[in-house]
Structure 1
């Protein structure tokens, strides 16, 4: 099982949006599932929507 470490998020109750680091050296984004995009996405993938401010906070905090 992949280990997630919370880097930054707008909610402490585990709701989105949140950015995590993994023990695999990757990032995971938790956000609202975007369904009205009109793109073909493979069944094992999803598009999520997060505010720009979440990424700005992560960069300003030197978290990534």
Structure 2
């Protein structure tokens, strides 16, 4: 797997940082959450997984940049809204 740096809120190049992989996923580098009460709020944590804390502003900053770099997505064709029962 190869990763491409997306951005960081750290001035020193340390964490938290986001990366995009060549597999179409995002890798998060940050401080591991160790607070037992916070960890108790997690669901379905698999072996090998860890919770990492990332500032909201980093995620929104990267999302805005990535979305502005993406080609425009065409609007769906007009028509009736999808039924909630189907």
Could you say which structure has the higher helix fraction? 2
- Give the CA deviation at 1:56: 1.0
RMSD between superposed Cα atoms in Å: 2.1
Query: Number of paired residues?
Result: 63
Unaligned residue ranges in structure 1 (runs of 5+): none
State which structure, 1 or 2, has the greater radius of gyration over its C-alpha atoms. 2
Highest RCO, 1 vs 2 (Cα 8 Å, sep ≥ 6): 1
How does the TM-score come out when normalised to structure 1? 0.79
Which of 51, 59, 63 matches 2:55? 51
Unaligned residue ranges in structure 2 (runs of 5+): 71-86
Could you say which structure has the higher strand fraction? 1
